[in-house]
Chains A and B, each alone.
Chain A
Amino acid sequence: MDDPRIDDLTGRETMGHEFDGIEELNTPMPRWWLITFYLTIVWGIGYTIAFPAWPMISGATAGLLGYATREEVAQDIADHDASNAALVDELLAVDLAAFDPQSDLHRYAVARGGAVFRAQCSQCHGSGAAGAIGFPNLLDNDWLWGGDLPAITYSITHGIRNETDLDAHWSQMPAYGDMLATDEIEQIADFLPTLASANNDTSAPGAVLFADNCAACHGDAGLGNRDMGAPNLADAIWLYGGDRDDIIESITNARFGVMPAWGQRLSEEDVRAVATYVHSLGGGE
C-alpha cells in the first residue's frame, strides 16, 4: 500500500479522493473517541439483548434480564399503597360525623375521593359534579337523601333504587297519569311555582289537588321529605326541569333515579373518601 498523499499547501495527508480537483484533508478523530464510539455500538447490541427491544409479531423480545415496566408500575402502586396504609387506617377509623375539614386526613380523603369520583361517578354526575337532567347536581345545597357526611356515605354505599342492595334508598312516586285527569295535572303544575310564596291561593283547584295527592310525601308546604327521598318542590332546583311541560311530564309518568350500590364495588376507604370529596364541593351540610 502506498503512503497517503500529502497536500502541498498544508503539509497534511488527504483522504485520497478528489472531485473536480477538490481534495479532502484527513482530519482523524482521536483513537479514544473512536474506541468509545465502537463501545457504544457494542453496548447498544448488548442492551437490546438484555432488555425488551425487538418488535415481533405479537409483542417484543423479552430480554435476558426479564425486566418489565408493568412489574415496575405494579411495584410502584404497591409501594404507594404501603406508604398510605397509616392514612387509610385513620380514614377507616375516623368519625365521619365529626370529620375536621382542616385536618391533613381530610385533605388526603378529598384528594383520594376526587380520583375515585373522576373514575366512577363522573359518567353520570359530570366531571365537575354539576350533574345533568335526571342526575343530581352535587355542588348545590339541595339533597334528596340528606347532605351531611354520614348521609352521603350511606347513599354512596347502598345506592338508590337498585336491585342488588337491600339497604338501598327506596321510594316510589305513583304515575298520576293513571289516577288524575289531564286538566287536574295541569292545575297542579300551575300551582307548584307559587308554593314558595307565603300568600299563595290555598283555595285554588291545584292547591286542593296538591294537598290531597302530593302533600303526604312532599309535605304541606312542599318542602319534601328526606326519609323517602321526596324532593323539595318549593326551591329553585328542579332535577327533571322546572318548566310547566317538564313538571306535567314528571307528575304524569313519575320519575325514578337509580344509582348502584358502590359499597359492593369500591373499598370502604374509597367510599369514605369519595363521600368526603362530594361533601367538600360546596353543598355539604
Chain B
Amino acid sequence: MSTPTPSLYAAHEPVFPRRVRGWFRSFKWAVMAITLGIYYLTPWIRWDRGPNLPDQAVLVDLAGRRFYFFWIEIWPHEFYFVAGLLIMAGLGLFLFTSALGRVWCGYSCPQTVWTDLFILVERWIEGDRNARVKLHRAPWSVRKARLRVTKWTVWALIGVATGGAWVFYFADAPTLLGQFLTLTAPAVAWMTVAILTATTFVFGGILREQVCIYMCPWPRIQGAMMDNETLTVGYRDWRGEPRGKARDATAGDCVDCMACVNVCPMGIDIRDGQQMECITCALCIDACDEVMDKLGRDRGLVDYLALSDAPREQAGEAPRPALAHIFRPRIVIYTAIWALFGLAMVYALFIRPEIEMTVAAVRNPTFVTLSDGSVRNAYEVRLRNKHGEDRLFALDVAGDLAMHVTLEGTPYRAVTVPANETLRVRAYVTAPATSDVATGNQTPLRFWVQDNIAGDRAHVNTHFNGTGSRP
C-alpha cells in the first residue's frame, strides 16, 4: 500500500497588488499621512515645563523613570494610568471590530501602513502590477539588479527613519539627533535603530501579508468580536453569480475581471466569502466599483455589508441602514465600558494632588522608650515634589495633644525637597511618659504636610503605638 506524501512546506506566493483609485484608497492615503505624520513629528514638539524638567512634549524618560505627555507627568507609582490606557486601547479594538470588522487591521495597523508605503515605493520604482510580475519572472539582468537595489535602498532609508523616530521618544530629540550626526550617540540608540530598521525592512518589504496570517494573533481573536450585524467587506454573491461575460444576459453582475483579486494586498479572493486573511482594507470595493461604473451597473457588488442583510437583499428588500447595524446592545456596552474607563482616568488625573506624601510606620521595633520614660515612634515619610523647582515642605501631626513630631537630621519641622524628586525623611513622634498615648496601645495619628508658599496640603492617617502598660 502506498503512502501519500503531504507537503510540509507552503511555498510563499508573492503578491503584486495593482494600483487602484477610489474613495477608500484616498481615505487610506489620508490615514497614512496622519499616522506617519504623528509618529515622525511628535518627538519634535516642544513643551515648556520649567528650568529643571525636559521641554519635550512626549518623552519616556527611562533613566529618570518619568513619562511626560504634554501637561501630564506620570511617575512610576502612577503606572495605573498607562494600564488604563492599555485597557481603553483593548476595549476600543473590541468596539471597532464588532461595529466595523477589522478596521484597525485595514487602515491604521502599523504593519498595514508601512506595507502600503513600501508597496507605493515599489510601484514608483518597478512599475504597476504587470511590470512587477514580469520583473519577478525575468532572469537576473543589470536592469533588474538596478531596480531591486534602488528599491531596497529606499526601503532601508524608510526603515532607518522609522527606527530613528522611535528612539527620539526616549531622549531629547534635538540632542540625540546631534549625537547621531557627530557619531556620539549611545550604543543602545544605535542598536535600537538597527533592529527597527531591520524589522521595518523585513516586515514591510518581504514578509508583508505573512505577518498578518502567521505572526499576528489578532486575526484569530477577531472572530469572537464580530457577529452578523458587523459591517465588513463582503461580496453580494446573489447579485454577482453566476459569473459571466458582460453581454451574457443570463449571467450575474460579476464579469470575473479579477480586479478585486489583483488589488488585494493579502492575495485573496473576496468572492470566496469572509476569510481569516482579509484585513478589510476595502481596496477591492474601489476596484469593483471602477469596473461597475464602466459597465454602467450599480456600484456595491463588493461592499461594506452586514451578513444579516443578505436574506433581506436576496428577497429584494432594501438593506437596513448602517447606523441600525451599529447601534446594538453589544456596541453600546463596549462604548459604555470604554467611556467609563476614560472618565475615571480623567477624574483621577484631575484629583491628583499637587503634593504627595506616603508614611510608613517603622514597626521594628514598634516603639522606643527614651531615658526619661517617654515613648517614641518612628515613621519613614516620603515626600514627592512634582514641580520643576525646589519646595519647602512643613510637617506636623494631629491627634492627641501630647504627641509632638521631630525630624531626623534637622532641628526644624520642615525639609526642602529638590525639584522633581522624592525625599525620604525619618519623622519621630514622641509622647510623655505618663500620657495616655504613651501607656495605651494604639492611638490614631494624622500626618499633615504643607507647602507654605503654594498653600498645598496633604495628609496621611497612621497610628501611634504605646507601651500597652496601662491597666
A interface residues with partner B (beta carbon < 8 Å): 1-5, 13-16, 26, 28-34, 101-102, 106, 126-128, 130, 137, 139-142, 232, 235-237, 280, 282
Contact = CB atoms under 8 A, between A and B. Distances in A.
B7 A26 contact: yes
Contact of B7 (A4, A102, A130): A4
Contacts of B182: none
Interface residues of B, number: 31
A28 B408 contact: no
A157 to B, nearest CB: 23
Contacts of A2: 2-5
Given A1-B5, A15-B6, A236-B433, A128 B409 contact: no
B170 interface: no
Nearest to B364: A128
- Nearest 4 interchain pairs by C-beta: A101-B409, A128-B364, A16-B4, A236-B373
A127 B9 CA distance: 64
A76 B214 CA distance: 42
Interface in B276-302: none
B12 interface: yes
B6 A26 contact: yes
A1 to B, nearest CB: 5
Contacts of A16: 3-6
A104 to B, nearest CB: 10
B370 A140 contact: yes
B378 A282 contact: yes
Contacts of B402: none
Interface string B218-254: 0000000000000000000000000000000000000
A61 B297 CA distance: 75
Given A26-B6, A101-B409, A282 B426 contact: yes
B141 interface: no
B4 A5 contact: yes
B266 to A, nearest CB: 14
A236 B370 contact: yes
Nearest to A32: B12
Given A31-B9, A101-B409, A142 B4 contact: no
Contacts of A30: 9-12, 210, 214
26 contacts: A4-B6, A5-B4, A13-B7, A14-B4, A15-B6, A26-B6, A28-B6, A28-B8, A29-B9, A29-B10, A29-B214, A30-B12, A32-B207, A33-B214, A102-B409, A128-B362, A130-B364, A130-B365, A137-B368, A139-B368, A139-B376, A140-B368, A141-B371, A235-B373, A236-B369, A280-B408
Nearest to B4: A16
A123 to B, nearest CB: 15
B428 interface: yes
Contacts of A1: 2-5
A4 B364 contact: no
Contacts of A101: 408-410
A232 B362 contact: no
**Chain B, interface SS category:** loop
B371 A235 contact: yes
Contacts, number: 103
A102 to B, nearest CB: 6
Interface of B: 2-12, 207, 210, 214, 362, 364-365, 368-373, 376, 378, 408-410, 426, 428, 433
Contacts of B5: 1-2, 4, 16
Among B368, B376, B408, B426, chain A packs the most CB atoms within 10 A around the CB of B368
Given A16-B3, A102-B410, A139-B365, A236 B9 contact: no
A33 B10 CA distance: 9
A226 to B, nearest CB: 13
A102 B410 CA distance: 8
B8 A34 contact: yes
A50 B10 CA distance: 34
A101 B371 CA distance: 24
Nearest to B362: A128
A282 B8 contact: no
A113 B426 CA distance: 16
Given A130-B365, A232-B371, A235-B371, A282 B10 contact: no
Nearest to B378: A282
Contacts of B369: 140, 236-237
B368 A282 contact: yes
Contacts of A4: 4-7
Contacts of B426: 280, 282
Contacts of A142: 370-371
B4 A28 contact: no
Nearest to B365: A130
Contacts of A3: 4
Given A29-B9, A237-B369, A282-B428, 4 more contacts: A30-B10, A142-B371, A237-B370, A282-B376
B364 A106 contact: no
